[in-house]
Amino acid sequence: MTIEHFCQLISEISHVPLDEIREDSSFRDELGIDSLQMVNLFTHLTTLFNVGVEVIESSEDLLTVHNLYRALHREGRQ
């Protein structure tokens, strides 16, 4: 999955306009995604990627679009 497709998924799940989502966007500060919305987004994405919460190694993985993309793709996933 490309980062562009990943951004599209984030837009569809979070209802944030796609043109506001960049690879370096902060979920909280730039996209306005609060903790409850982040749980919802993460739940959807882990289901789509068929992974569990163990893919998150640190809080850094949940800060930006790229960090989460990288975490979901670690170890050759997707």
| The predicted structure's pLDDT at residue 77 | 52
| The predicted structure's pLDDT at residue 74 | 79
Place of tokens 């902060």: 26
Say if residue 57's pLDDT is above 60. Answer: yes
CATH number of residue 24's parent domain: 1.10.1200.10
Total number of domains constituting the chain: 1
What mean pLDDT do residues 37-50 have?
A: 94
The DSSP code sequence of 4-57 is HHHHHHHHHHH---GGG--TT-BTTTTT---HHHHHHHHHHHHHHHT--GGG--
Q: Specify the DSSP class assigned to residue 3.
A: H
Classify burial at 76, counting beta carbons within 10 Å of its beta carbon; exposed 0-12, middle 13-18, buried 19 or more.
exposed
Domain that holds residue 45: 3-76
